[in-house]
């Protein structure tokens, strides 16, 4: 009798689970609980420290390759890292290999540079979208102007003050790739390893575990994972943003998953042994 009732739980309409999850995620967004975000992951800290130690004026290349689908996780990461770069007076270059991210890049640079009085062309440069990432990455190893002769607004890239003394990877201090695709793997394999330039990244929480081997060998200098990573980075640069505000939902969502898995297994045990 009990068994039959319990077995019904396994055949529960998945839409019920969807509904519970929606409520759990939505409620804290509407009414924040203010749960603490106390620990900072080692890889996030490493990324932060690597950038923090760069001397002012160093050139950092951002490869922002995420489209609106992964925006909630990756946009806060990108904003936090760019804020950090501007705060440290680093020169920022932006490239992208995903057409959908051009709009998001535009959104970042409409607001963030103003906070630090940074000027387009003098302190940062945005290059246009390019297809075929591997080919572009290889080309940039010898002469980046071979591909990016103009910036996004059609200005001659070589003459921009921000590009002074920058020709290829040898003149860059760090490459940061923020992506929900395999682009970070390409940066590591085709650029980081081949041309010995430091690479750090930001990825979605779902693909974060896959980068363990690269982090161990130092092929990645640091890694920010998901919205939690963004929140951690925001707390490191002391500029809370969208990442920090999403932490409550993230907390409750995770706990719900745990409860569901536990319940499912307890029910399984009861069915099996009672």
Partner 1 sequence: MIKNKLLFTLVLSLLTAAGVLSAPAAGADKGNKSPAQPPITGLTAADMPYDVGGTVLLAWDALASVPPGTVYQVFVSSLETGGWIKAGDYPADGVKPSSEIELPFWAWRGSKTRSALRVEVGELFAYKVTTERKSALCLALEKSSLLRAILSRLQGQGLFGGAGKPEPYTRVIEYKDGIPLNFKVVAELAGKQATAVQVKGSTASNWFRLDRLNNLLLLIVIVIVFFWAVSHAKRKGLFIRRIAGLDAIDEAIGRATEMGKPIYYVPGIGGMSGISTIASSFILGEVSQKVAQYDSQIKVPHYDPIVMTVCKEVVKQAFLEAGRPDSYRDDINFFVSQDQFSYAASVDGMISREKPAAVFFMGYFMAESLLLAEVGATSGAIQIAGTDVESQLPFFFTACDYTLIGEELYAAGAYLSKEPMLLSALKVQDFGKLLVMVSVFFGIILVAVGAKLHWDPFIEVILNLFKAY
Partner 2 sequence: MKLIKKQIPLAIVLVFGVLTLVSYYVPHKLSVDYIETMNKWENIVAAFAFLLGLVSLFFSHYYKIKRKADGWGYSLFVYVGFLAMVIPAFIWHGKQTSELGMTSLGWAFRYIYNALSASMFAVLAFYIVSTAYRSFRIKSAQAFVLFVAAFILILGKVPLGQIIWDSVLGWTGQGVDQVIEWIMGVPAVAGKRGIMIGIAIGAIVTSFKIIFGIEKQYMGKD
Tell me which residues touch partner 2 (CB under 8 A). Answer: 10, 14, 17-18, 21-22, 25, 35-39, 41-42, 67-72, 100, 102-103, 106-107, 110, 130-132, 135-136, 138-139, 142, 146, 180, 205-206, 209-210, 212-213, 216, 228, 247, 250-258, 260-261, 263-265, 268-269
Distance CA 147, CA 121 (A): 18
CB of 188 to partner 2, least distance (A): 12
Closest CA to 248 of 35, 21, 24, 31: 35
Pick the closer one to partner 1 by CB: 219 or 251: 219
Binding partner 1 by CB under 8 A: which of 182, 239, 267, 271?
182
Choose one: 63-71, 82-90, 103-111, 146-154; the region binding partner 1 (CB under 8 A): 63-71
Binding to partner 1 by residue 36, rule CB under 8 A? no
Using rule CB under 8 A, residue 207 touches partner 1: yes
Q: Are 178 and 70 in contact (CB under 8 A)?
A: no
Out of partner 2, partner 1, none, which partner does residue 196 contact, by CB within 5 to 8 A per kind? partner 1
DSSP for the chain, written as a single string: -HHHHHHHHHT--HHHHHHHHHHHHHHHHHS----------HHHHHHHHHHHTSPTT-EEEEEEE--GGGHHHHHHHHHHHHHHHHHTT-EEEEEES-GGGHHHHHHHHHHHHHHTT--BTTTEEEEEE-S-HHHHHHHHHH-GGGT-SB-TTS-BGGGSGGGTT--SGGG-SEEEEEESSTHHHHIIIIIIHHHT--EEEEE-TTTGGGGHHHHHHTSSS-EEEHHHHHHHHHHHTT---HHHHTHHHHHHHHHHHHHHHHHHHHHHHHHHH-
Residue 193 in the binding site for partner 1 (CB under 8 A): yes
**Residue 100 near partner 1 by CB under 8 A:** yes
Task: Determine which residue in the list 39, 196, 216, 238 makes contact with partner 1, applying CB under 8 A.
Answer: 196
Question: Which does residue 261 touch among partner 1, partner 2, none (CB within 5 to 8 A, set by kind)?
Answer: partner 2
Which of the choices partner 1, partner 2, none does residue 170 contact, using the CB cut-off of 5 to 8 A by kind?
partner 1
For partner 1, what does the binding mask look like between residues 152 and 171, x meaning CB under 8 A? Answer: ---------------x--x-
Please enumerate in sequence order all residues whose Cβ is within 8 A of that of 167, keeping only pairs 6 or more positions apart, or say none.
Answer: 143, 144, 145
Smallest separation (angstroms) from partner 1 to the CB of 204: 7
The pair of three-digit structure tokens given for residue 191, joined into one six-digit string: 């650029």
Report, in Å, the least distance between residue 61 CB and partner 1: 19
| Contact present, 211 and 178 (Cβ < 8 Å) | no
CB of 89 to partner 2, least distance (A): 27
Q: How far is the CB of 260 from partner 2 (least distance, A)?
A: 4
Q: Give the interface with partner 1 as residue ranges (CB under 8 A).
A: 14, 67, 69-70, 100, 134, 142, 167, 170, 180-182, 193, 196, 204, 206-207, 209-210
């Amino acid at each position: 009798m009990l068994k039959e009732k319990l077995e019904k739980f396994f055949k529960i309409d998945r839409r019920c689970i969807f509904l519970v999850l929606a409520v759990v995620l939505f409620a804290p967004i509407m009414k924040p609980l203010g749960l603490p975000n106390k620990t900072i992951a080692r890889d996030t800290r490493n990324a932060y420290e690597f950038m923090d130690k760069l001397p002012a004026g160093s050139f950092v290349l951002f490869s922002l390759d995420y489209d609106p689908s992964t925006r909630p996780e990756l946009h806060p990461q990108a904003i936090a890292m760019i804020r950090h770069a501007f705060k440290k007076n680093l020169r920022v270059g932006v490239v992208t290999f995903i057409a959908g991210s051009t709009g998001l890049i535009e959104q970042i640079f409409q607001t963030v540079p103003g906070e630090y009085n940074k000027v387009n062309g003098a302190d940062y440069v945005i290059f246009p979208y390019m297809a075929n990432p591997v080919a572009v990455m290889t080309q940039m190893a010898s002469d980046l102007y071979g591909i990016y002769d103009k910036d996004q607004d059609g200005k001659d890239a070589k003459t921009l003050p921000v590009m002074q003394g920058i020709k290829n990877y040898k003149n860059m201090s760090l490459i940061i790739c923020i992506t929900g695709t395999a682009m970070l793997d390409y940066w590591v394999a085709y650029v980081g390893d081949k041309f010995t330039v430091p690479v750090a990244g930001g990825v979605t929480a779902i693909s974060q575990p896959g980068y363990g081997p690269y982090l161990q060998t130092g092929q990645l200098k640091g890694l920010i994972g998901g919205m939690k990573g963004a929140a951690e980075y925001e707390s490191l640069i002391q500029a809370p943003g969208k990442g920090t505000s999403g932490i409550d939902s993230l907390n409750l969502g995770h706990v719900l998953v745990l409860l569901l898995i536990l319940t499912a297994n307890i029910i399984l045990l009861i069915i099996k042994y009672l």
